[in-house]
Amino acid sequence: MDPSMGIEQIAPIAMLMDELRSEDVQLRLNAIHSLPTIALALGADRARDELMSFLQDSIDDEDEVLLALAEELGKSFEEYVGGKEYAHVLLGPLENLSAVEETLVRDKAAESITKVAEVLAQSQVEQYYIPLLKRLSGGEWFTSRTSAAALYAPVYSKVSSGIQDELRKAYAALGADDTPMVRRAAAKSFGPLLKQYSQQHIISEGLQVYRRLQADDQDSVRLLTVEDLIAIAQKLSPTEVKDLLLKQTKQSIGDKSWRVRYMAASHFNELAEAVGTELVREELLGQYIQLLKDNEAEVRTAAATQIPGFSKLLDKEVILARIIPCVRDLSQDTSQHVRAALANQIHGLAPLLNREPTIEHLLPLFLHLLKDDFSEVRLNIISKLETVNNVIGIELLSESLLPAIMELAEDKSWRVRQAIIQYIPLLATQFGKPFFDEELGNLCMSWLGDSVYSIREAAIVNLKKLIEVFGVEWARAAIVPKVVGMGSHPSFLFRMTTVQAITTISPSLTLEILRADIINPLLELSKDHIPNIRFNVAKCLEVMAASFNSTPGGRQFVQELILPALERQKDDVDADVRYFASRALQKALSADS
C-alpha cells in the first residue's frame, strides 16, 4: 500500500476490517503486518482515534494473528501514533492481548507493553500504565494476572514512592494467589523487581513474599525462587544473608524435588558470589558437595558445570581435600552426560592448583577421561587442553592424547570426526612441528579422502589453518606434494578435493610455490574428463588471479599461465565450464587493467 495515496481513495480502516474479517488466516496476517503502512496513510491523529480503537475492539480467534499483532505493536509503533507523548494509546490493544488464553500471545503482549513503558514519561505511567496494571492484577481470569507479574519491574522506578508502596502490596497479592500459574509467574518476575527495591523494603516486604513462594507446594514455583534468592542476597550484607536467608538457601539446595535442586545447582556460582566467601566456606561447601553426589544425574551434571567457578572461592587445600574427591567420583559416573559436563570443566581447576598438584591429582583424571567410551567426553577434554598445557605442558598428556585423537578421527559419527578436525590447529600449536609431522600429518591428509563431503571440506580448511601455524615452507614440504599427488588419483572425489584444496590454500602460499609446484598439475586437471572438475579449476584460477595479480611477478604469472588456460576453457563443450571460465577471465582482465 502506497502511503502517498489519498486517504479517501484507499480507505485503510475499511480495507483492514475486510481483511481481518476474512476467513483466510494468511490474509489476516498480511493485514496485521501492514499496520505501519496503514497508520502512515491515516496520519497520527486518525491512527490514534480510529486504528487503535478498531484494534482494541476486534480480537481475532486465531492465536497466530494475535501473536503477530502483539509483536507489531511492540516495534516502536508509537512513531505512527504521534510519538512518545501518545505512546500510551498502544496499551489498550495490548491489555486485551495480555488476557487471552494462549501463553505465547500473552508473553509477547507483555514484552511489547514493557517496550512501550520504556518511552513513557512518569505522568503517562501513573495516568495510563498503573491503572492497566491494576486491572490485569485484579482480573477475574488467571491469564491476566499471570501477565501482570512481568509488568511491575519495568515501571517501578518511574513512579512516586506512594505508588511504589501500592505496587509492592499488589505484587505480594500475586505471590499469594490461589492459582499456581499466577504464583509461578510471580516467582519468575520477582527477581528483576527485587533489584529495584531498597534494602529496607526487601527486608520488610520482599523477604515475606519470597519465603511464601519458596515454601510453595508446587515445585514449578519453588524452582523459580532460586533466582529471587540471588537477587535478594545481592542487596543484603553477608551478615544479613546469614541471619535472614540461610535457612531458605539450604532448603532450596536440599529440596525434595530434583527440579529445584537442579535449578540451585545450575545457579550455584551466582548464589555463592552473592552470599559472600565467608558463608560459602562455612555453610555452602557441604551443600555443594551434596549436589555433586546427588541421586539424580541431571543435578550432578548441573553441579559439575559449576566446579571451576565455585572452586575459585576456596583455598587450594580445601579444593584438594573436598572438591577433588568428588571430581574423581564424577569422572567414573555412570551417566555419560555427567562425565561430559565434568570433562568440559575440569580444566578450570588446573590454574587454581598450579603445576605439581595438577600433575598429581588431575592428570590421572584427564588421562582416564581421554579413554572414555563416550566420544563427547573425549572431545570435551581435548577441546580444553590449552588451559592444562599452560600449567603442566603438553608432554605429560601426549602419550594418552594421541590414541584418543586417533579413535575420534575414525569415529563412526561424521560429526565427531568433524569436531576433532577443528581442534587440530590448536593441538598443532601445542605439540610443535616435529611431533605433528610424525604423528598427525598423515591423519590430516587422510581426512581429505573421507566419504563425507563435510569432513573433506573441514579437512581443507584445516590445512589452511596449519599453514598459518607452521608457515609456507613447511606447507611446501609437508602439504603441497600430497595435495598435488591426489590430482592423479583414479577417483573423481580425490581429484575434486585436490582442486578445492588448492583453491583454499593458494592465497596462503607464495608465488614461487604456485609456479614451481602447483600450477602445472592444476592445468592438467583443467582438461579432466569430468566437467565438475574442469569448472572448479576455472574457479580456482579466478582465486589465484585475484590473489596474485597485484603482487611482484604476479601479473606476469597470470598473463602467461592463467589467462591462456581460461581462454581455452571459455570454449569448453560444457556450458558450466564456459560460464565459470568466462567469469574468471573477465575478472582477471579487469583486475589486470
Q: Label each residue of 297-343 as H, E or C.
A: HHHHHHHHCCHHHHHCCCCHHHHHHHHHHHHHHHCCCCCHHHHHHHH
- Say what the pLDDT of residue 371 is: 79
Cα–Cα distance for residue pair 155/168, rounded to 1 Å: 12
Q: 214 in a domain, yes or no?
A: no
Q: Is the pTM of this model over 0.85?
A: no
User: Domain range for residue 48?
Assistant: 8-120
Asked if residue 377 lies in contact with residue 343, where contact means CB atoms within 8 angstroms, the answer is yes
Identify whether 53 is part of a domain: yes
Whole-number pLDDT of residue 291: 95
Q: Which helix (H) or strand (E) holds 244?
A: helix 238-244
Q: What is the amino acid identity at position 245?
A: L
The pLDDT score that the predictor gives to residue 278 is: 87
- AA identity, residue 473: E
Answer for the pair 501, 509: CB distance below 8 angstroms, yes or no: no
Residue tagged 565467608 (cell numbers): 278
Whether the CB-CB separation of 54 and 13 falls below 8 Å is answered with: yes
158, part of any domain = no
CATH number of the domain to which 21 belongs? 1.25.10.10
User: What is the reported pLDDT for 532?
Assistant: 93
405, part of any domain: no
Look at residue 441 in the predicted model and tell me its pLDDT. 84
Among 489, 467, 494, which Cα is nearest to 478's? 467
Tally the domains of the chain.
1
Residue partners of 493: CB distance under 8 A and separation at least 6? 449, 456
Would residue 16 count as lying in a domain?
Answer: yes
The answer to whether residue 558 sits within a structural domain is no
Block means of pLDDT (10 residues each) for the chain, 593 residues, are 43 60 72 83 85 77 84 85 87 88 90 90 89 90 91 90 92 92 94 91 92 93 94 90 90 93 94 88 91 95 95 92 94 94 92 87 85 84 76 69 77 81 81 81 86 90 92 91 91 92 92 91 92 93 88 86 91 92 87 59
What is the structure's pLDDT at 15? Answer: 64
105/61 Cα distance (integer angstroms): 12
